Amino acid sequence: MIVTPESIWMDVETIRGTAPLVHNITNYVVMNNTANALLAIGASPVMAHATAEVREMTQMAGALVLNIGTLSDAWIQAMFMAAQSAKKADTPIVIDPVGVGATSYRTQTAKALIAATSPTIVRGNASEIMALSDKDALTKGVDSIHEAEQAIQSARTLVETHQCTVCITGETDLILEPNSQHKITNGHPMMPKVTGLGCTATALCGAFAAVNPDGGQAAAHAMAVMGIAGEIAARWAKGPGSFQLHFIDALYGLSFHQIKTHYNA
Amino acid sequence: MIVTPESIWMDVETIRGTAPLVHNITNYVVMNNTANALLAIGASPVMAHATAEVREMTQMAGALVLNIGTLSDAWIQAMFMAAQSAKKADTPIVIDPVGVGATSYRTQTAKALIAATSPTIVRGNASEIMALSDKDALTKGVDSIHEAEQAIQSARTLVETHQCTVCITGETDLILEPNSQHKITNGHPMMPKVTGLGCTATALCGAFAAVNPDGGQAAAHAMAVMGIAGEIAARWAKGPGSFQLHFIDALYGLSFHQIKTHYNA
Amino acid sequence: MIVTPESIWMDVETIRGTAPLVHNITNYVVMNNTANALLAIGASPVMAHATAEVREMTQMAGALVLNIGTLSDAWIQAMFMAAQSAKKADTPIVIDPVGVGATSYRTQTAKALIAATSPTIVRGNASEIMALSDKDALTKGVDSIHEAEQAIQSARTLVETHQCTVCITGETDLILEPNSQHKITNGHPMMPKVTGLGCTATALCGAFAAVNPDGGQAAAHAMAVMGIAGEIAARWAKGPGSFQLHFIDALYGLSFHQIKTHYNA
């Protein structure tokens, strides 16, 4: 996979120019932030979870993002329905297995969703990715207790079983595809101190996947943009509270010059 | 309908002086922001959606705000129950048909709610208002693909059928009543880049309707205050992230002088 | 109960050093803010509400926080299940009876939860605490219409019946234990203008209870930290919008020096 400042910028411009609709079935904690991040990068977010409407909503969408952060049976049912609708329309599906490994409910749901949907991209932290293929891996609530590098073997298994892109985020972000692997080293240590930035990363994968048929490149572009916006925000921030708003401002104002200056693979 | 800086200010002062309770049954994405906007203007927000309590909560409230942004059957049932309770007590009802036109579930729910409640105010973007009376109108997720002026005929039909005020928001806000129409041109292009500012506009309609029996004036006052606070916030903001907090600060600090200086009809 | 800058700081350092997992079953309005506040003080928040997983999640947690702000039957069931799991593991339980007194549904639920769980800490505003033991007390939505001092007798009844700590927040915060009482006078008038800061106070009680077995001290430390961060934030804030982010920054950057300078009992 080839990832350059130019390839990143091309996708950003396409998102800004076409405002792809990204349908999110996501958790309560991050809905507001991920909607704002999607708007800031130029996409058009929609949240809808009722089984009575998810099929129709997904049909309009350029990408479907499924996030299991605050799960319940009704939402799981809606996720499967929406995924089926997305598959039929060849709409890219992005899955965030939040907290998988913390409870068997999450582990089973995430595995079943991935198996049923063959998603374009799975994005999680190292512990989550490990819990998807190693039955003994544990997650502390929704926080990782592993480094991205430790999850490579699990990610590789997922990639090969489901022919998808797996994106492991952490200090270093690793993007694995069937035949290649890419590393993004952008980002800032304050990012894990803001709730839901992982979920935002997943939502941005949705925006990029909506405009770029290459899942690996879409994921890498999303991670680069996350990391670069994070670095810009950190310069302006006094703490994770102000970081949050500067991050949205940075996404909104992101220029080719900033991407060229900051991009670090 | 007569809308002047003086009439706007009188309502703002009444809200600040009486802190009317505004009962919101609204969507997950915007609950936090709309609660903060209501607090900032001086009202007292409450969110409650259980069928076991909505009647009682509505009975205490000065206004009921129904917003279908993230719908499900249980919430729809609660909305109808709360609305019935509000009607009985002559409490103003404000409806936000978020994303109507995007799915038939939303279209049917919004139409049924409006028919059953004869709300005081319906507020939506142009596409949403059009979808309420034109079966062929479409909405892109929750974003409008039309200008306010294109929705005037649909709004007029709604006004006459339900004897309510219809408020179409966009670059220009149009407020239609049975016998008159009003235009507010305040606001800023960054506002649609912040998720849920439309929902905030609806919630503020609730606060103004709670202190002003004239639905048209209440809606116009709310839109003027939204637009003026938006203009003030935009001067301080670097992007939609910082805009959001400056907007709340602007609502909180809004003065008669600012209203007089900015108001644009 | 002895509360000093040193005792507060010791707990803050333990939270930052051990990042206790705090399991929240809380309301939709504040999930994002309370997660961010918990991260900012150094804890690890998780939100999970499905009956299929709450037991397992609580088993990993250092504290369980139950908040009835946006209630429904399924969530109540999950709260009881999680509480049972916490009791079995001797995990501290903190309860926030949001809006109790506003509807009988809330009053009954809060009373039943407290009776069934014998929580470590109950935190509420004066009206809420009064409504827990006085059947005639009323709450205006989720806002208090009483001063902390008026709720002392009700709090004392709760403390003695359930052998728990009761924390009444307001301009002055009162922390009552079986044999003692403590007062914290830190804080700022802008705090009630930000939605959910009471819920944040409760969540912080969870973080402190996770590292301090003395419930009274844990609650007092949490209230001191809330109030001090509030005072710092207020100096930087132009209104409740900017206050919110400065508050998170202040929690994140809180130093022993600031605690010593600001602490006011």
**pLDDT tens, position by position, B51-78:** 999 999 999 999 999 999 999 999 999 9
Cβ-contact B96, B66 below 8 angstroms: yes
Whether A33 has its CB under 8 Å from any CB of chain C: the answer is: yes
Q: Mean pLDDT in chain C?
A: 96
What is the distance between the alpha carbons of residues B12 and B171, in angstroms, rounded to a whole number?
Answer: 23
Per-residue pLDDT of chain A (265 residues; tens, 9 = 90+): 899 999 999 999 999 999 999 999 999 999 999 999 999 999 999 999 999 999 999 999 999 999 999 999 999 999 999 999 999 999 999 999 999 999 999 999 999 999 999 999 999 999 999 999 876 776 778 888 888 889 999 999 999 999 999 999 999 999 999 989 999 999 999 999 999 999 999 999 999 999 999 999 999 999 999 999 999 999 999 999 999 999 999 999 999 999 999 999 8
CATH level 2 (architecture), domain C5-262: 3-Layer(aba) Sandwich (3.40)
Give residue A135's pLDDT.
Answer: 66
In this complex, is the C-beta atom of A72 within 8 Å of any C-beta atom belonging to chain C?
A: yes
Q: Chain C partners of A27 at a C-beta cutoff of 8 Å? A: 47
Contact in structure between B215 and B165 (CB atoms under 8 Å): yes
The backbone torsions φ and ψ at residue C23, rounded to the nearest 5 degrees and listed phi first, read -90, 120
- Please state, in angstroms and rounded to a whole number, the distance separating the CA atoms of residues B49 and B39: 20
Q: Does any CB of chain A come closer than 8 Å to the CB of residue B47?
A: no
Could you tell me which chains touch chain B, where touching means 3 or more CB pairs under 8 A? A, C
For A37-65, b/e burial (b = at least 16 CB within 10 A) is bbbbbbbbbbbbbbbbbbbbbbebbbbbb
The minimal CB distance from C241 to the residues B50, B74, B246 is found for B246
Picking from C100, C244, A114, the residue whose alpha carbon sits closest to that of residue B252 is C244
CB contacts of B194 in chain A (<8 Å) are 36, 39
3 state DSSP class of B2: coil
Assign B98 a pLDDT band (cuts: 50, 70, 90). Answer: very high
CA distance C231 to C216: 23
The confidence score (pLDDT) of residue C135 equals: 66
C51 burial type by CB count under 10 A (0-12 exposed, 13-18 middle, 19+ buried): middle
Cα B197 to Cα B175: distance, rounded to the nearest angstrom: 17
The DSSP 8-state label assigned to residue C19 in this structure reads: -
Angle at A28 between CA A225 and CA B222, to 5 degrees: 90
Classify residue C257 as exposed, middle or buried by CB count within 10 Å of its CB (0-12, 13-18, 19+).
exposed
Mean pLDDT of C106-134: 95
One DSSP character per residue, A171-200 reads: SSEEEE-SS-EEEE----TTGGGSTTHHHH
Q: How confident is the model at residue B135 (pLDDT cuts 50, 70, 90)?
A: low
Backbone phi and psi for residue A72, each to the nearest 5 degrees, phi listed first: -155, 165
CB burial class (10 A; 0-12, 13-18, 19+) of residue B256?
middle
**Which stretch of DSSP H or E encloses residue A64?**
strand A63-67
Contact between C57 and A102 using a beta-carbon 8 Å cutoff: yes
Q: Does B200 touch chain A (CB under 8 A)?
A: no
Residue A133 has a pLDDT of: 87
Residue with tokens 């004066």: C126
- Residue A149 or residue C202, greater confidence: C202
CB B156 within 8 A of CB B176: yes
B33 at A interface, C-beta within 8 A: yes
Residue C47 has pLDDT above 70, yes or no: yes
User: What is the C-alpha separation between A156 and C229, in angstroms, rounded?
Assistant: 45
For residue C65, give the nearest of C97, C21, C38, C25 by alpha carbon.
Answer: C25
Whether pTM > 0.95 for this model: the answer is: yes
Q: What is the pLDDT of residue B209?
A: 98
First to last CA, chain A: 12
**Residue numbers in B near A19 (CB within 8 A):** 143
What are the distances in angstroms from CA A36 to CA A44, B11, B234, C239?
Answer: 9, 31, 16, 21
Q: Which two tokens stand for residue B7?
A: 């009439």
C chain contacts of residue B234, beta-carbon cutoff 8 Å: none
> What fold characterizes domain B14-185+195-210?
UDP-N-acetylmuramoyl-L-alanine:D-glutamate ligase (3.40.1190)
Q: Please list, residue by residue across B218-247, b when 16 or more beta carbons sit within 10 angstroms of its beta carbon and e when fewer do.
A: bbbbbbbbbbbbbbbbbeebbbbbbbbbbb
Q: Write out the H or E segment, with its range, that includes residue C67.
A: strand C63-67
How far is CA B130 from its chain centroid? 16
Top residue of C31, C34, C56, C195 to mutate, by most chain A CBs within 10 Å, is: C31
Under an 8 A CB cutoff, do B238 and A248 touch? Answer: no
Q: Containing H/E element for C165?
A: strand C165-169
In terms of Cα–Cα distance, which of B207, B212, B69, B87 is closest to C141?
A: B207
Is the Cβ pair B241, A252 closer than 8 Å?
yes
Q: Chains near A, with 3+ CB pairs < 8 A?
A: B, C
Decide if C143 touches B, using CB distance below 8 A.
Answer: yes
**B175 touches B165 (CB < 8 A):** yes
Q: Do B239 and A247 touch (CB under 8 A)?
A: no
Selected residue of B36, B72, B107 to mutate for chain A interface (largest A Cβ count, 10 A) = B72
Report yes or no: A70 at the C interface, CB cutoff 8 Å: yes
The pLDDT value given to residue B133: 87
Q: Does A48 touch chain B (CB under 8 A)?
A: yes
Flag if A73 and C52 touch (Cβ within 8 Å): yes
Chain A contacts in chain C segment 202-261 (CB below 8 A) = 244-253
Q: Are C236 and C87 in contact (CB under 8 A)?
A: no
Q: What is the dihedral of CA B252, B255, B259, B261, to 10 degrees?
A: -130
Q: What crossing angle do the helices spanning A31-41 and B240-253 adopt, rounded to 10°?
A: 120
Whether complex ipTM tops 0.85: yes
| Domain residue spans of chain B | 14-185+195-210
DSSP H helices in chain A: 5-18, 31-41, 54-60, 73-88, 104-117, 126-133, 152-162, 197-211, 215-236, 240-253, 256-262
Contacts of A36 in chain B (CB under 8 A): 194-195, 240-241, 244
Neighbours of chain C (3+ CB pairs under 8 A): A, B
Chain mean position to CA B195: 14
